[in-house]
Amino acid sequence: MEAVNLGWCRFSWGSSVSKKKGSQRSMVRRRCRWGRMVDEGMIVLRWRIKEMKMLEKEEAASDWMEWEKQYCPDYHRHLLHAMDLLQSYFIGLRPSVALGMLFLVAFSVFMFSGFGLYLALEAANNLVSCFASSR
């Protein structure tokens, strides 16, 4: 794996040159990410390169399932259509009903997250008591 130094970059200053050389260098270092090394073999970097190539080609990835490949091109159209239906539904409601539905959704998210936290704490308590009783 080969590493690429991104520490140098071509940063054009144009016609305006600062009197302070130190401030210029610090600006270039900040602009060029302080000369950090980027390993081309990193998984995240390879994944981003793959995503960028897919966006340029506008085609689905080879590891996607058939229904994903079929649905991908029309995703934004379906999403906008669903938001249009939802908005037109909420516009037709009375304000108190819409606020009640909003409160119900917000309260249910709060309750389910609290219940999830309770279950996680119970599992941690059982795990600790299991290890404590074995000693």
Per DSSP, 32 falls in state: T
Q: Which domain holds residue 115?
A: 75-133
Is the same domain home to 86 and 36? no
AA identity, residue 74: D
Nearest to 35 by CA among 1, 12, 13, 11: 11
Please tell me the distance from the alpha carbon of residue 121 to that of residue 25, in angstroms, as a whole number: 51
pLDDT tens-digit readout, 97-116: 888 988 999 999 999 999 99
Hey, which of 8-12, 21-25, 67-71, 80-84 has the most confident mean pLDDT? Answer: 80-84
For the entire predicted model, the pTM comes to 0.34
pLDDT score of 7 more than 60: no
Residue 84 lies in a domain: yes
pLDDT at 118: 97
SS3 of 75, please? Answer: helix
CA distance linking residue 35 with residue 25, whole number of Å: 12
Determine contact, residues 64/43, Cβ cutoff 8 Å: no
Q: What total of structural domains would you count in the chain?
A: 2
Within this chain, do residues 48 and 83 fall inside the same structural domain, yes or no?
Answer: no
Residues 14 and 52 in one domain: yes
Q: Are 40 and 4 in contact (CB under 8 A)?
A: yes
Q: Which is more confidently placed, 104 or 93?
A: 104
Residues 55 and 7 in one domain: yes
Q: Write down the pLDDT at residue 105.
A: 92
pLDDT digits (tens, 9 = 90+) for 10-60: 544 444 444 555 566 666 555 555 545 555 456 777 777 877 777 766 666
